[in-house]
Chains A and B, each alone.
Chain A
Amino acid sequence: MAEMNTDNSQSAGIDLSQFYQVFFEEAGENLDNMERLLLGLDITQADDEELNAIFRCAHSIKGGAATFGFSDVAELTHQMETLLDKLRRHELAPNASMVDVLLASGDALKAQLARHQGNGGDAIDTTDLLANVRALVAGQAPTAVAAAPAVVAQVAAAAPAKGKRLVELRVGPLSNLAQADELRDLFKEIEGLGTIEDLPSFPDQANTRRFKLETASAESDLLDLFTFHVSREEVVFLPWSEGGVQVDPDKGLFEGGAAAAHEEPGYGFFDNAPGAPLSGVASASSASAEVVQASSAAAKPAAKADKPAAGGLESSTIRVSVEKVDQLINLVGELVITQAMLAQNSRGLDPVLYQQLVSGLTDLDRNTRDLQEAVMSIRMIPMSTVFSRFPRMLRDLANKLGKKVELVMQGESTELDKGLVEKITDPLTHLVRNSCDHGVEMPADRLARGKPEVGTITLAASHQGGSIVIEVRDDGRGLNREKLISKAREKGIDAPDTMSDSDCWNLIFAPGFSTADEVTDVSGRGVGMDVVKRNITSLGGTVEIDSAEGYGMRVSVRLPLTLAIMDGMSVGVGEEVYILPLSSVVESFQVNEEMVKTIGGSGRVVEVREEYMPVIELEKVFGVPRFDWEHTSGIMVVVEAEGGRVALLVDELLGQQQVVVKNLESNYRKVNDVSGATIMGDGRVALILDVGSLVRRSRH
């Protein structure tokens, strides 16, 4: 079979290669859609609309592939289309091996397209796949259902499916057309003979009946049967050709049908049709007024709305490259910094004297905020883009492990920043794999415990406050306290028997911790929970585990909604400026020496409305050099995070402003107690404090 495309790229002046990129993107979407639909298909009660949609995916790819000369793709999709067409016409019933073969074909197509896009890789050997598809089309079981292997290209075409074959039967010319009806009856009465289907007669051969036969019987046998009703000379068997040129042994190439005479030009006009060209142009002879079998040809128009998260075909969206959006975000970020600088520099101006300027700056402030909000929302995309890979991944994984797992997804429309999407995918993948591999028990085990044979893994996303919360839950065996504690001790980690459950579950995040008895190649790859936690923390998020042994486990990931822009309060400590997230600031007040008490010699607390709150001296945490030994810090800023509050001791409150959050890790690395950095109005860098980590500090 052809592996590279025949070079259609230059077609008499029109360079088709300019459309390749769009075709590749479109084909990619169609493949994703097809996979999603196949995974969601209910085999017992297949939805017509879904079958049609799956058909259209393959059909669309075929059309483009054929037009642009990617013949390997066209061939495979053509076969898939044949199978899908039968499915949507209810000529075949869907079953699990069909879905498997179609999924594997989708994989092969992805690989073929990747090669055409220049992504390298070996030629894809689709011999087996094509054979399997053809077998399914003929109503047989496929042989080995393997994923399309990338093997060095070979030559021979696939063997035709054994067993049944398709044949076109022509009977005539008949003086009595009803004679042919009796042939139909033969197929009804004799079991195993095959199936027979009417075909429209050719208009210029009105006395000849045509049928489509599917049969395993030899033609000679059929002829013997037919000659009870019609004479031998009136019967012609022709090889079936699907949708292409039909060979008439008497007349050479195609003739007949509502088409042009004696050759297949690939187009034609209907006689006397509105708008048809006038005589002199090849046109069809008039058709007799017959009822047309139009029902099978036309797909039903979709009455139902598209399912959510489908690749919609709305013309109210436009495609924009990610680079353009990122550039826009950066520009808005710079605008925020400039506006902050202006605001800062204009603080000293007399509002009366400079009334217009000051009011203009106030407007600018508001406009910038609005613009920024609008621009940030461009980057917000639904969680479904993250979740979409899991059904297939889980299906393949469960099959491999011999487990039965169902995936439930909730809150797919919850939105999060695109930058986060890319970074959250790996940790989530690990968590899901973990649940399937270590959480959900084997079907027999589950039954023995009185659980349903099929385990459930739930992915749920929701907004809570200024964060997005993503949960991975399973109803598997949960975590075993004893095992975790003993493993921790083995590794030299302090794990007292009295440790709380939540502390115990958190042991999993220790580096190199894996309680799997063998490291399966699936999730024990050394990509441990510690890496998951680190990834999430570097995004400014938190991970928590909850578990009930025997019932299951839940991992909750909490992330800030957006990384990029934040309202901050700047505080001064010595010569340094630090930024606190405004959303975590509760209050601030002045203090003097007497108000701050010590506990146990080192822990310091301050009284706040009858409550003693731990104090953190930022000067000590960040080793801020002091040159003025007389100076004592006089301001407490109370901040709250992770369910706790601390009072931060600072020198002064400098102000509130919007800050553009910049990443320290891209060029440097994670710094303790610091969640990011920003550029102040004077161009200098200020560190943004990680309030959560400061609160945790106070707890130890």
Chain B
Amino acid sequence: MHSILAVDDSASMRQMVSFTLKSAGYNVVEAVDGQDAWEKAGGRSFDLVLTDQNMPRMDGISLTKKLRENPQFKATPILILTTESSDQMKMAGRSAGATGWLVKPFDPNKLLEVIKKVIR
């Protein structure tokens, strides 16, 4: 069973994403911000990391950078969920090592569709 780390400071978003993924048969671990995600990531492996961008303590881009420094997460697909699809955001994402992005708001089906493309 595939394991996904879902990171978002908004409880309602987290619940929605979690529910969607679990209904599709994925195992989900939730984190409330980048820092929390980093702590939860230690010593585990995930098949995918889904992270919001704007969060307190550590944002999505910074989390991505940090995860990439860890050999365990070097190749893990990381998708950044963001309300902006500006070029600046994309550039920052790419340079941090993200695999891709998904624009908010998205509907649950779209989420599943995109995930299927990257999860192996």
Contacts and interface: CB of A to CB of B under 8 A. Distances in A.
A contacts B directly in the complex (CB < 8 Å)?
yes
Interface of A: 8, 11-14, 16, 18-20, 22-23, 25-26, 53, 55-56, 59-60, 62-64, 66-68, 74, 199-200, 242-244, 257-259, 264, 266-270, 273-277, 281, 287, 292-294, 296-299, 301-302, 313, 315
Interface string B8-20: 0111110110011
A288 to B, nearest CB: 11
Interface string B78-97: 11000111111111111111
A64 B100 contact: no
A198 to B, nearest CB: 10
Contact of B9 (A18, A243, A275, A313): A313
Nearest to B36: A315
B105 A257 contact: no
Given A200-B87, A243-B83, A313-B56, A66 B74 contact: no
B61 interface: yes
13 contacts: A14-B19, A20-B12, A62-B83, A68-B12, A74-B105, A258-B90, A266-B103, A266-B106, A267-B106, A270-B94, A274-B74, A292-B95, A298-B61
Contacts of B103: 266-267
Contacts of B107: 8, 11-12
Interface in B92-117: 92-110, 114, 117
Residue among A8, A11, A74, A267 with max Cβ neighbours from chain B (10 Å): A267
A276 B99 CA distance: 5
Nearest to A78: B83
B13 A64 contact: yes
Contacts of B62: 298, 301
Given A259-B90, A266-B110, A273 B99 contact: yes
Contact of A298 (B20, B76, B92, B109): B92
Given A275-B75, A296-B88, A302-B57, A16 B16 contact: yes
Nearest to A303: B57
B55 A23 contact: no
A63 B100 contact: no
A12 B11 CA distance: 22
B89 to A, nearest CB: 5
A301 B58 contact: yes
A258 B87 contact: yes
Interface string B46-60: 001000101111110
Given A273-B100, A274-B75, A67 B13 contact: yes
B6 to A, nearest CB: 14
B109 to A, nearest CB: 5
Contacts of A287: 91, 94
Given A270-B99, A277-B117, A14 B110 contact: no
Contact of B90 (A67, A257, A276): A257
Contacts of B102: 266-267
A695 B97 CA distance: 75
Interface of B: 9-13, 15-16, 19-20, 23, 32-36, 48, 52, 54-59, 61-62, 68, 74-79, 83-110, 114, 117-118
Contact of B54 (A25, A59, A267): A59
A276 B88 CA distance: 20
A695 to B, nearest CB: 51
A26 B118 contact: no
Contacts of B92: 292-294, 297-298
Given A63-B13, A243-B86, A269 B106 contact: no
A26 B10 contact: yes
Contacts of B88: 199-200, 293-294, 296-297
Contacts of B99: 269-270, 273-276
Contact of B97 (A20, A64, A274): A274
Contacts of A63: 10, 13, 52, 83, 104-105
Most central of B48, B76, B100, B104 by chain A CB within 10 Å: B100
A71 B73 CA distance: 37
Contacts of A258: 87, 90-91, 94
B26 to A, nearest CB: 14
Given A16-B16, A19-B12, A273-B99, A298 B59 contact: yes
A553 to B, nearest CB: 41
Contacts of A12: 107-109
A266 B12 CA distance: 21
Which of A60, A62, A64 counts the most B-chain CB atoms under 10 A from its CB?
A60
B90 A274 contact: no
Given A11-B109, A273-B100, A275-B77, A299 B54 contact: yes
Contact of A267 (B13, B48, B57, B110): B110
A275 B33 CA distance: 22
B57 to A, nearest CB: 5
Nearest to A243: B84
Given A16-B108, A56-B56, A274-B99, 5 more contacts: A23-B10, A56-B9, A67-B12, A273-B99, A275-B48
Contacts of B106: 67, 266-267
Nearest to B61: A298
Contacts of A257: 87, 90
A26 B11 contact: yes
B100 A276 contact: yes
Most buried by A among B16, B19, B84, B97: B16
A66 B83 contact: yes
Given A258-B94, A297-B89, A274 B57 contact: no
A268 B89 CA distance: 12
Contacts of B86: 242-243, 297
A281 B114 CA distance: 11
A614 to B, nearest CB: 60
Given A266-B103, A315-B32, A259 B15 contact: no
Contacts of B95: 292, 294
Contacts of B101: 267-268
Pairs A-B, 9 closest by C-beta atoms:
A275-B77, A23-B12, A269-B100, A66-B105, A67-B105, A243-B84, A294-B92, A297-B92, A275-B99
Nearest to B108: A14
Contacts of A18: 19
Nearest to A29: B11
A273 to B, nearest CB: 5
Contact of B10 (A64, A244, A297, A298): A64
A293 B89 CA distance: 9
B91 A200 contact: yes
A267 B106 CA distance: 9
Contacts of B110: 266-267
Q: Which of B48, B68, B84 has the most CB of A within 10 A?
A: B84
Given A274-B99, A281-B117, A298-B61, A243 B85 contact: yes
Contacts of A74: 105
A444 B109 CA distance: 64
Contacts of B85: 243-244, 259, 264, 266
Contacts of A64: 10, 12-13
Contacts of A16: 16, 108
